[in-house]
Structure 1
Amino acid sequence: MDYVQQRVAQEAAKAEGASASSSFFTPLNIIVLLFVLYATYSFLRPTPPPALPKEEPAVVFKTFTPRTLLPYNGENNMPVYLAVKGRVFDVTRGRNFYGPGGPYANFAGRDASRGLAKGSFDEDMLTKDLDGPLDTLTDLNQEELEAMAGWEERFLEKYLVVGKLVAVGEEEKEE
């Protein structure tokens, strides 16, 4: 019997060791172990290099006439330009306002000076004769001139000046 008791004691010891080792692998301990491993990985993994912002394409300062400015109305993936007091602004970033379908879309690719000064979006505010002289704006009153100056200041703060608007025939003189 001594042998049998010894054998039973050995089996009992094995069973105790097995239950002790299986009690270590409980669901809670596994979750804690996974959390510790993830935290260690997150702390030690290499960080990716920072992504540099894309540089905006260089804009060449150009001389425009009313006719050469007209295609820059935002259609056919063209940028959106408009002129105020002879300065041509790239308002492409404001495409939702100045591009096709926007509230100021009739100013795109045009001289918007008179319309902005008078606070009117009507077509009759735009230059009809694209090959004629530029609008001198001499008939505007002081209040309208101040309104136009306010718009010009706002454009200077927000948008790039990409060119100058001149009458047809004066572009050779400017260059």
Structure 2
Amino acid sequence: MTGGKFEPKTPVALDPPKDTPISISELSAANGVGDAKAYVAIKGKVFDVTGNKMYAPEGSYHVFAGHDASYALGKTSTKPEDVKADWFSLDDKEKGVLADWETFFTKRYNIIGKVEGATNF
């Protein structure tokens, strides 16, 4: 997506994206509970959302922390059963919504790696 639609209100200084392998267990542990970091993966890319209260245990998006939330984001769903990596069954409109979320995250959060063994790029 181009244009200012997804630009953050205040500029964010981001590190260059990394492709460090992140295991499923490492991703799962980054669930924002206690002192844990909070990571959300989209299409196999792992974003560090630590510090955003929305992903903390009391936050609206905590269900995504520690998971690849591609399918749920495409569906605009916060149902735990929708939080899964496989997004290929989404319809075209939902795939567009997922692409928008990916752009949104890319402009706000550091990409710290890729889910090890992910096939949902």
Fold shared, TM-score > 0.5 on shorter chain: yes
- 1:17-166 matches, within 5 Å, as 62-94=20-52, 96-127=53-84, 135=86, 137-166=87-116
Distance change >3 Å, CA 118–CA 60, structure 1 → 2:
closer
Runs of 4+ in 1 over 6 A off after TM superposition: none
Tell me the C-alpha RMSD between the 2 structures.
Answer: 2.1
Q: Supply the AA of the counterpart residue of 1:157.
A: K
Unaligned runs of at least 5 residues, structure 2: 1-16
SS class of match (1:89): strand
Higher strand share: 2
SS class of match (2:21): strand
User: Residues 18 and 111 of structure 2 are in contact (CA less than 8 Å); yes or no, is this contact kept in structure 1?
Assistant: no
Cα deviation per residue 1:5-30 (whole Å; 9 max; x = unaligned)?
A: xxxxxxxxxxxxxxxxxxxxxxxxxx
The structural deviation recorded for 1:79 is: 1.3
Cα deviation per residue 1:15-74 (whole Å; 9 max; x = unaligned)?
A: xxxxxxxxxxxxxxxxxxxxxxxxxxxxxxxxxxxxxxxxxxxx9753123222101011
TM-score with structure 2 length normalisation?
Answer: 0.76
Cα deviation per residue 1:55-100 (whole Å; 9 max; x = unaligned)?
A: xxxx975312322210101113111111001100001131x10111
Unaligned runs of at least 5 residues, structure 1: 1-58, 128-133, 171-175
SS class of match (1:162): strand
User: Residues 66 and 111 of structure 1 are in contact (CA less than 8 Å); yes or no, is this contact kept in structure 2?
Assistant: no
1:30 is aligned to none
Q: Supply the AA of the counterpart residue of 2:59.
A: G
Higher helix share: 1
Q: Supply the AA of the counterpart residue of 2:34.
A: N
d(CA) in 2 for partners of 1:121, 1:61: 27
d(CA) in 2 for partners of 1:153, 1:165: 18
TM-score with structure 1 length normalisation?
Answer: 0.54
